[in-house]
Amino acid sequence: MTNTLKKYCLILLLIACPLFIQAQHVIITKAGERLNGELQKIEDHTVTFFHKGSIVTFQHGQIKSIEFDGEAGAGSSISQSGQKGISFLMPGRKVIKQPKVDNLTMEKGIVVVAITINKYGDVVKADPGVEGTTTTSQYLLTKAKQAAESAKFDGGTTMPLEQKGTITITF
Contacts of 138 (CB under 8 A, 6+ apart): none
pLDDT mean for each 10 residues of the chain (171 residues) = 55 43 68 78 72 77 70 35 69 87 86 94 96 93 94 88 92 86
Q: How many CA atoms lie within 13 A of 36 on its CB side?
A: 6
Q: Is the distance from CB of 76 to CB of 99 less than 8 angstroms?
A: no
- Torsion sign (Cα): 134, 27, 157, 97: positive
Residue 65: closest CA among 39, 38, 30: 30
Q: Is the dihedral of CA 55, 57, 62, 63 positive or negative?
A: positive
pLDDT for residue 31: 78
Q: Which residues pair with 113 in a beta bridge?
A: 128, 167
pLDDT value at residue 79: 34
Buried b (16+ CB within 10 A) or exposed e, 144-169: bbbbbbebbbbbeeebeeebebbbbb
Pick the closest to residue 24 from 49, 60, 61, 59 (CA basis): 49
**Model-level pTM?**
0.54
Tell me the DSSP string of 78-137. B--TTSSEEEEE-TT--EEEPPP----SS---EEEEEEEEETTSBEEEEEES-TT-----
Q: Which CATH architecture has domain 1-69?
A: Roll (2.30)
Task: Return the CATH number of the domain spanning residue range 76-171.
Answer: 3.30.2420.10
- Domain positions in the chain are 1-69, 76-171
Q: How many residues does the chain have?
A: 171
Give the pLDDT score at 100: 85
